[in-house]
């Protein structure tokens, strides 16, 4: 739980670093769930003859590195959201009990309640981020969830429907996030408007509007989090270490307000007014995403962003 002084800091600076938000049991469950998923993926690729190293005695990180170096799609099977386009009935997505326990963790919801109130919806704009060492990244890699993330505001990656929605981003560190391995950096302040964004290799703030003043890195240990106001500009540093950096983006908005990506499923994570509406079963959440995937696979494409590369600020 955060105190009133921290709430005031968040209001004035637009962000807050909170240590020890997740307990060790929750972190171990996340590691175990993803280790089992990595084992399944690696075993399949190995049996198909696509990977030469036998899976025996390889760690999670060694298997992940083999998959990344081999050019296999490990990212989407790990992600907790669907991609921007080309969704099919077989597009992988990971929704499991440990991820659900993380997203509905009491410590997180207690903190979010202090910032936006007790009627809390788990917003579907959510992702896993596992960043390889920059030295291992190919020149063709441009996914924001894999490489350094461009400057942006989180309101900028929603659709216009959510421009008045009250929400916060909870950026959770699963491994220590350091300056060396690519922690976030923030342009602190009380921002009250959205800056123009462009659809470049990533969706980011238009070049002439990128913060030019002092920026602050926000290192945080595993189990801690960086909390963002939706209009606070932030980006990530490059991962200049020899290891991978792992985090999750989770967002929460006031229940009843548009999520900014209404084609994706949200759920009530906490409600003081109507506790019976709270979702308690991770399998229901999983089915919501599976049903959405089927619907979107057989429908016209729905954009996830509002920005065009040919807008006046992006020329």
- Domain of 116, CATH number, reads 2.60.120.620
The residue range of the domain holding 129 is 14-22+109-300+307-314
The pairs formed by 64-69 with CB atoms below 8 angstroms and a separation of 24 or more are 64/38, 64/130, 64/244, 65/132, 65/136, 65/244, 66/42, 67/38, 67/41, 67/42, 68/132, 68/136, 69/136
Judge whether 62 lies within some domain.
no
Share of the chain above pLDDT 70, in %: 98
Question: Looking at residue 192, what DSSP letter applies?
Answer: -
Judge whether 235 lies within some domain.
yes
What is the per-residue pLDDT for 89? Answer: 97
Compute the average pLDDT of residues 134-159: 82
Lowest-pLDDT range of 14-28, 103-117, 160-174, 202-216? 202-216
pLDDT at residue 144 tops 70: no
Tokens for 302, please give them: 């729905």
Judge whether 84 lies within some domain.
no
Lowest-pLDDT range of 125-134, 176-185, 301-310? 301-310
pLDDT band at 307; cut points 50, 70, 90: confident
Rounded CA separation 239/131 (Å): 7
As a 3-state breakdown, the chain gives helix, strand, coil percent values, each rounded to 5, of: 30, 20, 50
Judge whether 85 lies within some domain.
no
pLDDT at residue 143 tops 80: no
Helix (H, G, I), strand (E, B) or coil at 99: helix
Judge whether 265 lies within some domain.
yes
**pLDDT tens per residue across span 225-240:** 999 999 999 999 999 9
Q: How many domains is the chain built from? A: 1
Judge whether 89 lies within some domain.
no
pLDDT at residue 1 tops 80: no
Question: Looking at residue 70, what DSSP letter applies?
Answer: T
**pLDDT tens per residue across span 77-89:** 999 999 989 999 9
Polymer length in residues for the chain:
315
* Dihedrals phi, psi of 213, to nearest 5 degrees: -85, -160
pLDDT band at 134; cut points 50, 70, 90: confident
pLDDT at residue 201 tops 90: no
Judge whether 259 lies within some domain.
yes
Find the helix packing angle between 24-47 and 60-69, rounded to 10°: 50
Judge whether 144 lies within some domain.
yes
**Most confident among 22-36, 50-64, 209-223 (mean pLDDT):** 22-36
Cβ atoms of 295 and 151 within 8 Å: the answer is no
């Amino acid at each position: 739980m955060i105190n009133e002084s921290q709430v005031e800091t968040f209001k004035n600076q637009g962000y807050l670093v909170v240590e020890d938000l997740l307990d060790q049991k929750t972190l171990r469950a996340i590691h175990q769930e993803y280790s089992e998923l990595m084992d399944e993926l690696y075993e399949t690729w190995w049996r198909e003859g696509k990977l030469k190293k036998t899976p025996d005695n390889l760690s999670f990180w060694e298997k992940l590195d083999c998959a990344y170096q081999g050019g296999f799609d490990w990212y989407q099977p790990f992600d907790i959201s669907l991609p921007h386009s080309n969704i099919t009935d077989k597009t992988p997505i990971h929704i499991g009990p440990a991820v659900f326990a993380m997203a509905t963790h009491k410590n997180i919801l207690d903190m979010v309640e202090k910032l936006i109130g007790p009627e809390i919806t788990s917003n579907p704009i959510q992702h896993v981020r596992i960043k390889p060492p920059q030295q291992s990244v190919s020149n063709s890699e441009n996914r924001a969830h894999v490489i350094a993330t461009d400057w942006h505001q989180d309101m900028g990656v929603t659709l216009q429907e959510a421009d008045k929605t009250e929400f916060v981003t909870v950026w959770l560190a699963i491994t220590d996030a350091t300056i060396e391995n690519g922690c976030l950096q923030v342009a602190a302040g009380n921002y009250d408007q959205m800056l123009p964004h462009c659809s470049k290799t990533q969706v980011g703030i238009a070049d002439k509007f990128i913060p030019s003043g002092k920026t602050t890195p926000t290192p945080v240990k595993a189990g801690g989090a960086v909390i963002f106001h939706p209009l606070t500009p932030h980006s990530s540093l490059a991962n200049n270490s020899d290891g991978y950096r792992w985090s999750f983006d989770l967002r929460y908005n006031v229940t009843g307000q548009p999520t900014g990506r209404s084609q994706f499923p949200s759920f009530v994570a906490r409600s003081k007014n109507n506790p019976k509406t709270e979702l308690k079963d991770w399998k229901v959440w999983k089915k919501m995403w599976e049903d959405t995937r089927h619907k979107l696979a057989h429908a016209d494409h729905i954009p996830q962003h509002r920005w065009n590369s040919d807008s006046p600020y992006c020329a």
